[in-house]
């Protein structure tokens, strides 16, 4: 496909996915879970609200590239710069003028595709296809360590020093998750992805959050070992990649979806209550329900679109996880009550 460049003049390999959110492109492109992915926005008009630091979910644009139908100039009082300027500043390529509907149909029918997004004009179509086919892709690759914090830090909180501490294992955590934890009255300590169970427990946390993040959960054996070392010793909550890692730590396996779940309108059913929530999702892998020992873990939530696992809870230790994003940013906020459940779990001493 050909379009006009509206980002940095660089060539970038990545996996092409599509996102069905109608708003929130700023949060989407700065979500660390999108590392290594070229995001196709199905909403045709992009750029309308510009770009501002307050809405960013990390310190930079994380997506490998961005594809859209139209790039529009901003008309919003909160805009600090245009989306195009932000893309150029962070060295991220983008194309506009594309038939994103046709591209989305191709991805839906054929699955996620490897691609070279070329905006320099220095690569022929044949060479671009050859490079994309030769690229290793995301399977088996540890992208979490690339986006994780290199050093531990404390997230700003108004809670006093006596408030319960939540340790966050950062596999690509979004800022809104940290905001919600702090807003719930926790002190928040963010730790690098490779932090060991021993080092986590040395902080004496009231609970540990396993964050979202990019790529293949099976490529993070160190994270699985850490989680196994924490099970039964401190309450755990997982989100997205953290959900998959908890499933692996409990003896399950994961598999890749054909084209992933990316958007803010995914219905999920709570199997315990029968209620349905509209959720924000961003993942290419899922826990295989057949791989979980029913004596060790209970499936608590499923997708109403394809029946895949969207939540699980350990049977005998205080640990649960959700595949979707309760913190939204962007998307519906129907699931934010899960943070209250996490606090209640800690209040019961696990």
Tokens of 71: 């790039």
Query: What's the pLDDT at 229?
Result: 99
Q: Report the distance separating Cα 275 and Cα 268, nearest Å.
A: 8
- Give catalytic status of residue 240 as yes or no: yes
Query: What's the pLDDT at 349?
Result: 58
- What digits encode the pLDDT tens for the residues 58-115? 999 999 999 999 999 999 999 999 999 999 999 999 999 999 999 999 999 999 999 9
Q: Report the distance separating Cα 74 and Cα 217, nearest Å.
A: 37
CATH numbers and ranges of domains, the chain = 4-134 (3.50.30.20), 144-347 (3.40.50.880)
Residue 92 burial by Cβ neighbours in a 10 Å radius (0-12, 13-18, 19+): buried
Query: What's the pLDDT at 330?
Result: 83
Query: What's the pLDDT at 158?
Result: 72
Query: What's the pLDDT at 161?
Result: 77
Residue 332 burial by Cβ neighbours in a 10 Å radius (0-12, 13-18, 19+): middle
Tokens of 345: 């779990």
Q: Report the distance separating Cα 193 and Cα 210, nearest Å.
A: 9
Query: What's the pLDDT at 340?
Result: 86
Query: What's the pLDDT at 329?
Result: 81
Q: Report the distance separating Cα 105 and Cα 193, nearest Å.
A: 36
Which is the catalytic residue, given 56, 84, 240, 261? 240
Give bridge partners of residue 113 from the DSSP assignment.
Answer: 16
Q: Report the distance separating Cα 240 and Cα 260, nearest Å.
A: 12
Query: What's the pLDDT at 41?
Result: 98
**10-residue mean pLDDT series, the chain (350 residues):** 96 98 96 98 97 96 98 95 98 98 98 97 95 97 98 86 93 96 94 99 98 97 99 98 99 98 96 96 97 98 98 97 91 81 80
- What digits encode the pLDDT tens for the residues 163-209? 999 999 999 999 999 999 998 889 999 999 999 999 999 999 999 99
Q: Write the CB contacts of 226 (distance below 8 Å, at least 6 apart in sequence).
A: 169, 195, 196, 197, 200
- Give catalytic status of residue 57 as yes or no: no
φ, ψ for residue 108 (rounded to 5)? -65, -40
Helix (H) or strand (E) holding 200: helix 197-201
- Give catalytic status of residue 56 as yes or no: no
Give pTM, 2 decimals: 0.96
Q: Write the CB contacts of 126 (distance below 8 Å, at least 6 apart in sequence).
A: none
């Amino acid at each position: 496909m050909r379009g006009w460049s509206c980002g940095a003049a660089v060539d970038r390999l990545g996996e092409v996915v599509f996102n069905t959110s109608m708003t929130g492109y700023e949060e989407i492109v700065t979500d660390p879970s999108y590392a290594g992915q070229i995001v196709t926005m199905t909403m045709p008009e992009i750029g309308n609200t510009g770009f501002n630091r307050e809405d960013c979910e990390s310190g930079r644009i994380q997506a490998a590239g961005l594809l859209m139908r139209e790039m529009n100039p901003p008309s919003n009082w909160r805009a600090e710069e245009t989306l195009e300027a932000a893309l150029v500043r962070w060295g991220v390529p983008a194309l506009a003028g594309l038939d994103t509907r046709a591209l989305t149909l191709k991805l839906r029918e054929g699955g996620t595709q490897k691609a070279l997004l070329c905006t320099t004009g220095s690569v022929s179509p044949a060479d671009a296809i050859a490079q994309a086919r030769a690229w290793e892709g995301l399977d088996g690759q540890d992208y979490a360590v690339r986006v994780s914090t290199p050093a531990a830090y404390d997230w700003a909180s108004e809670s006093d020093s006596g408030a319960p501490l939540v340790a966050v294992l950062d596999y690509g955590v979004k800022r809104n998750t940290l905001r919600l934890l702090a807003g719930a009255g926790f002190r928040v300590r963010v730790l690098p992805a490779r932090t060991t169970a021993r080092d986590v427990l040395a902080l004496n946390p009231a609970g540990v959050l396993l964050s979202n993040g990019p790529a293949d959960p099976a490529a993070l054996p160190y994270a699985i070992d850490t989680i196994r070392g924490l099970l039964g010793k401190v309450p755990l909550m997982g989100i997205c990649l953290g959900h998959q890692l908890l499933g692996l730590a409990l003896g399950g396996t994961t598999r890749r979806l054909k084209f992933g779940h990316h958007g803010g309108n995914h219905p999920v059913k709570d199997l315990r209550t029968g209620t349905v929530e509209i959720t924000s999702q961003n993942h290419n892998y899922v826990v295989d329900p057949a791989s979980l020992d029913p004596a060790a873990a209970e499936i608590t939530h499923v997708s109403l679109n394809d029946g895949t696992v969207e939540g699980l809870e350990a049977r005998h230790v205080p640990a649960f996880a959700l595949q979707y994003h309760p913190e939204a940013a962007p998307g519906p906020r129907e699931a934010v009550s899960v943070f209250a459940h996490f606090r209640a779990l800690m209040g019961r001493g696990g």
